[in-house]
Structure 1
Amino acid sequence: MAIGWMTVLKLVPWDDVIANAPQVVEGARKLWKTVTRSPALPPEPAQAPEAAAAPAPELATRSELQALAATVSVLHEQMAESSALIEALADQNAQLIRQIESNRVRLGWLMAVVGLLAAALLYLLLRG
């Protein structure tokens, strides 16, 4: 049985979402700063003179290390892109929360005006 969207939206603790929105944005910014500061690849160590005389299995290990270094570089790029996306989503979330709060305040004022108008109309109907 499918749950309606309105039911799902009513179950969301909006007070908690609104209260935690700045923390989410700050966490995303910290993640972005951390990822952009970390180096993509560690510096390669200097080769020892005996490395030139290494047997064939050592060459296979070196090529494996190069492949792993390339994989780490690709993963670092993906992590940087992901953290940028997370930061953008957190900013959008903060904007959405601000808009929801603004709409909530406007709805409160609108309900007060409608209530006053309804009371005035009721007064005029009962008086006349």
Structure 2
Amino acid sequence: MALGWFSLLKTVPWAEVIATAPVVADGAKKLWKTVSKKPVTAPAPASVVLATEGDILSQLQARIATLEATTAELHAQMQDSTELIQALATQNTELVQRAEANRVRLRWVSLGLVLLALVLAYTLKTGV
């Protein structure tokens, strides 16, 4: 099972992932700034305006009030979603940076092990 994950991770183009992580984080920040600047409009109370078609007018006002409430609710949900996207993009950037740091460390450890193996082989061969 671990071999499958290892082969999967080897196929990931880490250079591209690392290169695009800041772009994703910047895009999430721009989205958050755009959404957070828009004010949430509270639904206006329906005013009582009675004309000759008073029933129709009051029904339309009730529908408008409902639509305004729904719009405000959707806007709040969109802001929450944008906050979540920004948090995920930040976490993704940190994860990619840590993965890159681990990859570099693994290369150094591998190099150290190869050098140690060469020194050990030389020691065994010469009998020193």
Q: Same fold (TM over 0.5)?
A: yes
1:108 CA displacement:
1.1
Runs of 4 or more consecutive aligned structure 1 residues displaced over 3 Å after TM superposition: 4-8
Moved more, 81-90 or 103-112: 103-112
Per-residue CA deviations over 1:62-106 (Å, capped at 9, x if unaligned) read 101110111001100000000000000011011111111111111
2:74 corresponds to which letter in structure 1?
L
CA distance in 1, matches of 2:52, 2:65: 17
Percent pairwise identity: 45
CA RMSD of aligned residues (A): 1.9
- 1:1-128 to 2 correspondences below 5 Å: 4-41=4-41, 51-53=49-51, 55=53, 56-128=55-127
1:65 corresponds to which letter in structure 2?
I
CA distance in 1, matches of 2:123, 2:6: 37
Change (3 A) 1:32 1:113: same
Q: Which stretches in structure 1 are left out of the alignment for 5+ residues?
A: none
Moved more, 92-101 or 6-15: 6-15
What secondary structure, in the 3-state scheme, does the structure 2 residue paired with 1:126 have?
helix
Per-residue CA deviations over 1:32-67 (Å, capped at 9, x if unaligned) read 1111101212896xx8xxx44252111111101110
CA distance in 2, matches of 1:87, 1:54: 52
